[in-house]
Amino acid sequence: LQRLDFVHGTETPRPTLGSNLESQLPPVLTALSDSGRAMLADDNGLYYAAAGFHHETAEEVAALAGDIISLGRRHALLLQQHLNLGSSAWAVANPAGASELAFYPLYIGQQSFVLIIGGMPRLQDQHFVTLVELLARRYA
């Protein structure tokens, strides 16, 4: 991730974040999208936290994310080796090709997550680092 500029090293360690993951995730997720719509689900289609989505919608989008991850795993050989696609992310794009809803797999320890972002993603700042740190402290 560091080579891709998703994370960077610092001279001093970051202060320890609070222990309540559930209350810390929504504001972090909000900052990961230009529209404030993002959520975190697992690969089984259950969501952990959502920002900008109604509860019922979040449940359905999380189930869709589980299906997409399963589809990606079934077709990984085709996508990665035959088509040489280096990404395992999926997106629903508008007619101009811009992502309207994107699904990014995250692997922390033995746990698989899906970061779902509505609108334009904002993954190149400290909020993505904070998300990974929160998940790593709990699941790694």
Q: What is the pLDDT of residue 85?
A: 80
Q: What is the pLDDT of residue 81?
A: 82
Q: What is the pLDDT of residue 59?
A: 97
* Interval 20-51: pLDDT, tens: 888 899 999 999 999 999 999 999 999 999 99
Q: Find the length of the chain.
A: 140
* Interval 46-77: pLDDT, tens: 999 999 999 999 999 999 999 999 988 888 88
Up-side HSE of residue 45: CA atoms within 13 Å toward CB? 11
CATH number for the 25-139 domain, one of 1.20.1440.230, 3.40.980.10, 3.30.450.30, 3.40.50.1100? 3.30.450.30
Cα distance between residue 45 and residue 63, in whole Å: 4
> What's the N-to-C CA distance of the chain in angstroms?
16
Instruction: Evaluate if residue 125 carries a pLDDT over 80.
Output: yes
| Strand-pair partners of 113 | 42, 106
* Amino acid identity, position 137: R
Sheet of 111-118: strand order equals 47-51, 37-42, 111-118, 99-108, 90-93
Are 134 and 20 within 8 A, CB to CB?
Answer: no
